[in-house]
A and B are shown apart, each in its own frame.
Chain A
Amino acid sequence: MNDTLDVVLRLVGVLVVFLVLPLLVGQTEHKVMAHMQGRLGPMYAGGFHGWAQLVADGVKFAQKEDIVPADADRRIFQLAPAVALLPYLLVLIAIPVGPHGFVGQALDAGLFFVLAVMGVGVLGSLMAGWASANKFSLLGALRTAAQLLAYELPMLLAAASVAMAAGTLSLPGIVESYHWWWTPWQLLGGLVFFTAGLAELQRPPFDMPVADSEIIFGAYTEYTGLRFALFLLSEYAGIVVLSGLTTVLFLGGWHGPWSGSVGWLWTLLKAALLSFVVIWLRVSYPRLREDQLQKLAWTVLIPLSLAQIALTGVVKVVIS
């Protein structure tokens, strides 16, 4: 009975994190982008500096009519947002927040689990783009697929380098065996991982699949109301997951002063900092062209991640 209660409590915790953190990131994006551009951003909803803007947005989305285009493949069109969103919820279960089992569920091959399940989310965009019966949607889905195929490999290789360094695939195990000099040692891999993760989330400057000036909103063009909100939510949940993963793999997770008592705070702080960087990149870089995207992945990121693996191997052999 106690075990069941424990599992239920952990799952409820993960669900709460899943529902709260993406909204926090979204609100931060509103405010940070606005201030970087010399604006104020949302100021009215909720009173204090527009803190309830996203709640108001949610209410607005829920009130909108749910439209399915006449020529669309109804069932797949309606299923796609769930396929895009659920993987991120599952991934959150395996990301450790603090020491002593402060994690939804510690998995033996947690690193593999996280990367595998994150890769499934893109099926949602593909289904959405194809089922919409709209050429802009289809183009967006095609660009999504091409981008994912190109960036999955460097991301995996960078993660493999960390697994080699730690000698384990378990995410809590990786954080436990972390030392401060890992960050400079794995710096290259960390940069590759973060960049490839941004590309998988289709965040600017890698937002070619949803380029609004060319193909409206890519795979999500035909969506309205709650289903559209689910796609947006999956993007912000993706930012949370990517920041959390980069923190755990490359920045030492809960390590920091007084990590025994406030370790979870360190994880959240580092992840929040990375989320800020994600937002910062959105307002400061122009969109990459499709050929530049592919070129960056195949001729820069993959060789860099291979070099990182070689470096990891050499250092690992020397120090052991």
Chain B
Amino acid sequence: MNPGSALAAAAHHPGFLSPTGVEITFVLVGLATLGAALLTVTTRQLVHAALWLVVALGGLAVEYLLLTAEFIAWVQVLIYVGSVVVLLLFGLMLTRAPIGRSPDADSGNRWVAVAVAGAAAVTLVWVVVDAFRSTWIDVHGAVQGTSHATGTSLFRHWVLPFEALSVLLLAALVGAIVLSRRDDGGKETQ
């Protein structure tokens, strides 16, 4: 984009002081998501933490929807809410999931964890803000996050990272199977 058109585009930008309904909704859902995320890490009940995580991840999906990224939103629901959290709950129920408080659920690494999480959050926010400084999405125009648009950009510009990720996940899968079979390997071959 040349400077002239960038300036012209900047002149049409909506201001921060006259928010539209979508923007207000976005901020409110964001606050709810943040609240649920905080409850996830502060609640003393293990299973409640997992359920608050559902709320937080669902809130993120709603944010994607508000940004017209329909495809990503449903993938978020499918993978995170439908599979990852179910796996998490499954693991909790298999091991230890008391009703009520778990006094031993606290870790001694609390402050280190806060520092790492804070650093990660600052980095991510900084990168995203720097990348999309003043880009506005026209939510009333053509939908920009359709599966067609997402697929085109994924398989035209991001094929190599996509394939690299697939190989990484495959390696993780094979590794997980090997690890889980090692213990009773002797019994299996009886």
Contacts and interface: CB of A to CB of B under 8 A. Distances in A.
Interface of A: 71-73, 76, 107-109, 112-113, 115-117, 119-120, 122-123, 126-127, 129-131, 133, 138, 141-142, 145-146, 148-149, 152, 156, 169
A108 B143 contact: yes
Contact of B71 (A112, A131, A138, A156): A112
A145 B93 contact: yes
Contact of B78 (A76, A115, A131, A145): A115
Interface string B68-107: 0011001101100111011101100110010110000000
B123 interface: no
A201 to B, nearest CB: 15
A119 B75 CA distance: 12
B147 interface: yes
B37 interface: no
Contacts of B94: 142
Contacts of B54: 123
A107 B90 contact: no
B47 interface: yes
Contact of A145 (B47, B51, B86, B100): B86
A288 to B, nearest CB: 19
B167 to A, nearest CB: 18
Contacts of A122: 82, 86
Contacts of B87: 145, 149
Contacts, number: 84
A130 B89 contact: yes
A48 B77 CA distance: 45
B146 interface: yes
B90 A130 contact: no
Contacts of B81: 116, 119-120, 123
Given A108-B71, A142-B94, A123 B85 contact: yes
A145 B74 contact: no
Contact of B83 (A112, A126, A129, A149): A149
Contacts of A126: 86, 89-90, 93
B51 A76 contact: yes
21 contacts: A71-B99, A76-B48, A76-B51, A109-B70, A109-B146, A112-B71, A113-B74, A115-B78, A116-B82, A117-B77, A126-B86, A126-B90, A130-B93, A130-B97, A133-B99, A138-B93, A142-B93, A145-B86, A149-B87, A149-B90, A152-B82
A115 B77 CA distance: 9
B180 to A, nearest CB: 14
B132 to A, nearest CB: 23
A127 B86 contact: no
B147 A112 contact: yes
Contact of A120 (B82, B93, B99): B82
A148 B78 CA distance: 13
Given A138-B93, A142-B93, A146-B90, A108 B78 contact: no
Contacts of B93: 126, 129-130, 138, 141-142, 145
Contacts of A145: 86-87, 89-90, 93
A89 to B, nearest CB: 15
